[in-house]
Structure 1
Amino acid sequence: MFLKELELVGFKSFPERTTLRFERGISAIVGPNGCGKSNIFDAIRWVLGEQSTKALRSLKMEDVIFTGTDKKPSLGMAEVTLVFCNKSRQIGFDNDEIEVCRRIFRSGESQYLLNRAPVRLKDIMDLFMGTGIGAESYSLVEQGKIGMILSTRPEERRLIFDEVSGITKYKNQKKEALRKLEETDQNLLRVNDIIVEVRREINSLERQANKARRYKQVFEDLKGKETIIAKLEIRRIEKDNSQLREKILDSENQINAREEEINSHRESISARLAKIEQLDEEVSFSHDKLINIDNLINNNAQRIKVNQERIAELNSRVENLKDQLREAGVRIENARMNLENFQKEHSNLEEVVKQKEGLLAKKQNEYEEANSSIKDSQDKIKQSKVLVIDLVSDVTRANNEIADLQAHLKSQLLRQKRLEIEKANTKEEKDKAEEVLGENISELNKVESEFNQLNNRINDIGQSRQKESSERDELIRDIQDLENEKIALQSQKEFLEELKLKYEGISESLNAVLFLDKSPGEDISGILIKVKEQSLCADEQSAGLKYKLSGEAKPMPLDTEAITQRIGHIQIEIDRKKKEQEEIDLRIRGLAEAEEGLRQQAKASEMLLSNKRIQKDGIMKQLEKIQQEYEVLTLELEDLENQFKELNDKQAQLEKKLNHCCQEQKAQEDLVGSLEEHIHDCRINREKILVEITQVKTEIESQKERLTQQVKTEALLMIAFRESRQLFENYSGEIDQSKLKIKQLNEESEELGRRSTEAREEKLSLQESQDKQQKEFKELNAIQESDKGKIDSLNENIEELRKSMYEYQMQAKEFDFKRISIHDRIKQVYKLELESIFDPSAEEENIDKENLGLEIAELSRKLDSYGTVNLIAIEEYEELKKRYDFLMHQEQDLSKAKHSLHEAINKINRTTRQMFFDTFKKIQVEFHTYFRLLFGGGEAEIILTDEENPLESGIEIICRPPGKKLQNVVALSGGEKSLSAVALIFAIFKVKPAPFCVLDEIDAALDEANINRFGTILQEFARISQFLVITHNKRTIASANVMYGITMQEAGISKIVSAKLSVRQEESSELAAVA
């Protein structure tokens, strides 16, 4: 497995999509300071889940998005993608490639993707856990982390060893198990509290449920007897109601007979009424038809008169139209002659205009040729002027560049002097900082000692408080047990007192023993008698004791005084233990206050310790910064010498270019002068042609105007000719239409006269038929009045019968109301439907209603004597009992889960302890080997600060470079620390190599000899792991297979340039020098 590809979009100084494709072996990333090399390191760390903005050199997470430059706007998103080759399946992921991507937006929204599918950060961390890949793993090493490995506390230093030994995931599992264990303890405590409360409620509900059962039994007896009374009453009501229904039925039959007779008369009336209505309609129709005939005769006479008047008018109109027709013929002939004269004159004018237009076209061609010549000359002048402007611009630019170079040379001379002064000042600051660092380390060791003493005292007090808390918990459990026993005895006492009241006077032997849960056997029948369904009472105390001793029964003494005494003793014991609990609480509070005071002191000491460490880190960073500034100043002074030579050469080139530009400028200015003279001559000729064109256009316009006027006159004559001809045709048509209309009017008058004669004959026939219909209408009306009198008499008889039937129906409704009231009462009181148990066909039994009424009264009185009864106590008791059983089951499950978690934690501790020891011993051996290899001798070892607790112990590093005494790593020089840290990193990689490793300028503090050893070991490890090295060192670059150059051609925007390197040392050195 290795890192195959890195892709950045919008991350820090990489706004464009930038892709780096890596190969196995060593890849070097080089470039000047500030070009964005470390942004590559930050991108890899960020995509693997880094959450610290400080580690990413930002104030907030959104700062990793490209913020823009003067020429390029800012972006709204940053995205980094890592592609791993997974053909070896080192990661349990069934793909040849694994693509991990992280995005962030300006809004703060963040996304993680695994093979382009959205996932959580936890999924990414779980995927790489134990492989050596991660934001905080040993595979990502930067210059600052080198110091951190050696300068952090021993407890923090072991985090790297945990990652190497592969116990990080086990520690996470243990942390999760401890969290679950704490939750289980809390749940178990809550369940126990609930069980105690539920047990108390069950005892109370059990008594209420027993009372509710007795109440329900009496209630059922009362319901049965009242149901019998209700049945008898309903049967009597039904009998009376049946007689009423027979009377109602007889009345209904008589009413129906009368109504049938009425219907018969009504049918006769309806039949005659139809005949009367038909006759009435026929009379009305005849009357209307007579009126229509009179109207028709009058209308025809009127229309004949109108037609005769219209014929006279049309004859007069025809004569007038003939006179107008003759006048129109004369106008048509005059218009035709005028039109022919104008057409001849129009043809002559068109020929003149055509000749003038030919002359105009010729003059216009001459004018266009003059314009074209002027335009060509102007274009040449414009080109020459542009060239002159460019030459002037080049001359100006060359002069400006020469001036800039001279100013730059002057400023570089001043800068050289300033850099020499800064270099001397930097050397002095470095010496002072090293002196302050020594003093700071001494003070830090003193504060650490005081802080450890305070922590030991806090631990002692914590153990004492834990012991007191355990005793307090034991007391609480004892008090709870006594409370439960007290509640049970109180319930037993109440039950016995209830039994005494219920079975008072049965036998003195009841005071001896009460047996539960079994029925007597045949061998003791006669000794024991049944008192309750599951309770036995002994006739004699000796028999009861004998039965008890046989193991077949459970005795319960009826002497409540003993129970009362026992309850009193329990209460005394409870009070005593509560007093002990209060004393323990006072001691716990005192210990807590003492612990809090020590914690405040420890916190102050820790803050002081932290400040001292921060001061130390600040001083060390200041030393590193001063050293870097010193080296940078040296390099800058060397660069200035080279720049002086380059600037002098560039100035000579610019002066040569300036002379050439001046000569070319003069030649172009001469050409522009000759072209301007030619343009002047062409313009004079063009003006002359333009005057001639204007004269020809004026003549053409004059002729065209005359031609237009003739066209208009000709058009008017044509219109007049057409109008005269159209008028002639209209007059002829109108005469023909008038003659046709006269003929139609004569024919219509003859037809109207014929129709009037036929209408008079039809009128006489209708008058005779109308007289016969009116006579028959009067006869039918007389018969109708006779039948209506008979119907009124029958209606009066029906009304009397309905009054009688209404009285019967009211009595029946009263019986129904009584029956419904009985049903409702039974239903409301007993929730019972009488229809479901009532059989109307059953014969009435021999029932004593008086005794039944007395029994009902007695049961009602007994029911009232119970007072308030909780009828739902039975269901509540059953439900609470189920809940109690469920809670007990939950308590068992939680106890089992707690045991399982303890076993899992113990197993994790055993596994991680063994894994850590095996890895730690291997790293010890390899660290000693690589230390001697890098230092050329000496000794080094890593030891545990607490060997009895290796899983929480810190790790100390002890080193002895050649020729020095054995000492802690913090006492080494800066170069020795860096080399020791490199030895530790290589030792870790030897024991557990990560798929890839990124080294960010960790060779900065190494001298040339150590760089050679570092490069040799790096090439050795490149055979098993992939290395990405960010460096400035030429020898380190020479060790690489591929070099990636980071440049910043445009301010704020990084670019990538890659090159394959040869294995030959000479060529590698040359490429490194160029980089």
Structure 2
Amino acid sequence: MKLKSLELFGFKSFVDKTTIHFEEGVTGVVGPNGCGKSNIVDAIRWAMGEQSAKHLRGSEMQDVIFNGTSSRASIGMSQVILSFDLTDGRAPAGYTDYTEVQVERRLYRSGESEYYINKVPCRLRDIVDLFLGTGVGTKAYSIIEQGRIGHILASKPEERRFIIEEAAGISKFKNRKEAALRRIESTETNLARLNDIINELKRQLNALDRQAKKAERYKKIYDELKERELKLSAVRYQQWRSEVEKLETENFDLTQNETSFAAKLSQLELDSEKERLGLTEMEQNLSGVQEKFYIQQNSVKLHEASLEFQASKLKDLAKQQDTYAQEIETFKLKLKKAEEEIGKLNQGKVGFDVQVAQATEKIREIEETFRSATQVCADWQLKTESANRDILKCVGVVAESQSRLDYLERREVEVEGKIAKGQAEVDAMDRVIKELERKVKNVDTELSDLKQLGFKLADEVVIVRQDLEQKRAAFNIALQNFEDAKNDLAVKQSRLNSLEELHQNMEGFRDGVKNVLKAAGQGLEGICGPISEIIDTEPQFEAAVSAALGDKLQYVVVKSQEEGLEAIEYLKQQSKGRSTFVPLNIKTAPQEKQTFRAPGIVGSLLENVRFSDDYKQIAQYLFGDCLLVENLKKALDLWRGGTDKTLVTLQGEVVDRAGIVSGGMSLEGEALLGYKRRIEELQQEVSLSKAKVTETEKEALTLKSQVQSLEERLETLSRDSHGEEIKLVHHEKDSARLREETNRYGHDRDRLSIEIANALDEKKEIEKEKGEVVKLLEDSVVKQESLEKDLTEFQVKLTTASGEKDRLSQSLAQAKAQLEQVEERNLAIDRSVEQWIQTKLELQEGIEKRVVEINSGQLESQNLSQAQVSEKAALEKALKEMDGLAQKQKELRLAYDSLSARVREKEVDLRDMRRRHEEFVKAIHTNDLKLAESKRQLQFLVDQILERYKMDVGQYSVELSAEGWNVDEETQIVADLKDKLEKLGSVHVGAIEEYDELKNRYEFLVKQQEDLTRSLESLRRAIQKINRVSRERFLKTFELVNEKFQEIFPRLFKGGRAKLLLVDEENLLESGVEIVAQPPGKKLQSITLLSGGEKALTAVGLIFSIFLIKPSPFCLLDEVDAPLDDANIDRFNDMVREMTAHSQFIVITHNKRTMERTDCLYGVTMEEAGVSKVVSVRLGGDVKEPLSQVA
């Protein structure tokens, strides 16, 4: 699966369409920094599915799109196409019939992405799956950057294990396992939901069982009632009921089918996942056989190369043996000649020794005479030179004294001028300093005033800021109070509106009462209102009053019995329910006034009820015999004591005269009784809340205005303070400048004063020195004249001695010349003898070396011949093993293709079932909407009937609605039957059928639950198998890589040792991988302490070790050689060249040595700013035209 070509368009700096072709061997990419070389790496990584913009050296994914330059506009799309050659037999699963595969990725500036495999649209996951297990991918070891080298060593051991996993081929296992785990999680969620449904159904079954038994009793009465009630409503109900039943049946069928289908779908997905896992395992087996085949194929090549090398070496050794034999014969002839020459030279040397002795004696005699003459001459020379030196000293002293005198006179004039000038400058500076001191005083005065103003403004700013903070805090509190008041008002207003709406709708009243009260508003006369609204009491007595009245709270007060009869007639005619009417002139028995004062007795209930005088008789009727007590125990004690009163407790229990006790909890009566009170209370609370809202809003607005005023004041003060600060800074600068200038002038004045004093002292010194120099000059002239007279006498005597010395010197020179001639001839003979002796030794040594080489060559030839035999046998064995692996690979490929076809067929079935399942879900949703609407209509009808009659209209048949009947008789019969039914309470009539249906559904779902549980267990066993295989593969690959790493590390470092360690050997699925390295000459240490070059070489050694075990089809190295020196570069390049036997290499580099070792070289340039172009260089060829071409 070699990388054939890369095509870029609009990717980063490659704005024009650019195609780069990659050949076998090593392809180099070079260019200056910033030209876009690394964009090629980014393009390959991006096309293979990289989703991290950070890993592509960007902040967001749109950064890969060309963004324009000063001369080019930006474009809206980025496109990269990778072409892979599959003819090497290492095609990914599913592409074995292809000779080439093309991967394409596009990104639009809108953010939309497109992916293609062989021009067919696909998903990102399909591209990632394509490269899984091949060693190629965004996170695999096929792409190594300089930063990745450091990351391999610096990363955590747990992160470092990924490259071992990729080499072991278990990354696809991990992905499949994660997908299976997600499927398990989803299925477990569905199973949990199914368990909840089953538990709910079980609870409903228990409830329905009780309801069904009660329904049997209920039906005896209901069968008689259903023929007499609401026939017209039955027609409409039957229509809705039929629709609901139809929809429920459809919904049940659809739900049952969907549940069953979902279970089948889950089962099919689990089965499909199993087969995909099996397919993955088969892929790994096939990959393992392929790897063995390639390793064996590489072994055959190595054996063949070794045989070829051995044959060549034997041939070279034979040639070398002949050459050594010829050289030995030549050396023997030269050795004989050297011995003859040495004999001749030794005979001619004897006559020269006598001549040397005679010449040496003559020279000794002349040298003794010459030494005496030389001593005489040296004595007169010393006296002459001494006289010369003394004369020169006197001349120097005279000249120096005269020069010094001239200088002192000039200097005296200069010092006098300097004193006059300095005094004038001092006077001028005194005037300037006085003026500057005056200015400093004025500026200091202004500066003091500005500081005082600044302090005042700063104090005022602090005060205003503190006041502002206080006001802001108060404003925030007021604003929060305003918001709280608004929220409180909204809550209370909402409650008030709800209560008023309930009161307006007469919520809690029966239909008869509601209809009468509504009719009173439309013209029905004499209606005063319900009992619950004509009386009032304190909240603590509402429970007692409500219990004492019971249903009487819904009685309607009318002015007279005649108005009551009219109201009853109205209800009959309109069929709008029943009600009880109480006339104002109701007759009541006279009540004696009694005072009840005893422990536990609160008093008469009538005394604790408020009403108008118009309703006095009604109140007497309702509460005349009611006594209010504290609790039920006291009420029972009073009843046992023989009281004839109805006893009512504060909690709402009632004990009547007969001893019947009523109690429990019901809020209906209290609600009717308390509506008016609660509305009035809420109205008061709303009024108070409105006032509070107004008050808090006013307070907030006032504080807001104060805050704004303070903010404006603070801003003004800050601005003024800032202005004064600027003035203060300017004045401080002026003051500092004036002071500095004053100090500078003062320093200059002091300096001039010192200079003047020094000049006066210097003038005195000059005058004193002039007198001393004049005296010295006169003494030196007299001494010079005396010395010149002595010098003339010394020079005459020196001339006579020098003549004698010269004559003797010439005689000595002639004698020495004669001796040198004789000695030179003798020495020449000695040198010739030594040279011939040295030649003789070298020839003898050369003969001995050639003899040793001949013997060594013969032994090496014998070893090579034996090695050839072994190598040929190994080659034959490797060829047989390679043929066997090729056959096994073919068989596995056929089995894999068959299983892959089945998996694809199941994927098609699975997609079809998912589509059908979605159709079921949509149908259920649509049916649920229709059912909800039908039920709403049906429930509206049922609610009406239940509200009026406490019965289920659904039990009536359509046929009965057409029969005739007498309204009054039927009304009475229905009323009697209703009383019987009300004693039974609420009954669910359809509980029996629902129980059976629910039980069937419950049993069905329990069966589905068992099936899903079994499937989950099966999948968990499959995952356990994956874990076992992953452990075995990881451990095997780790050991192989570790073995290779221990071999390669010493080769790269020329010594040392290194190895890989597992952090947790007990947990192979998660254990990290640690690297231990010891370069030669160093102690074993942490890899973080290695130098940059050592780190790089260590990481390269690890990557190459993996390549030897699981070679990637291609490898991209981005400036990996940057930290390496020349020696390491050569070893690195040798290793890369060795790897090209089974992998294609693309190297981005700046190193010339690496460039020299490439087979093809691409140069990336940026002739136009921001736009990259590519040129190709073949080694030994010419530079081609740029490959970048606008498509």
TM-score (norm 2): 0.35
TM-score by length of 1: 0.39
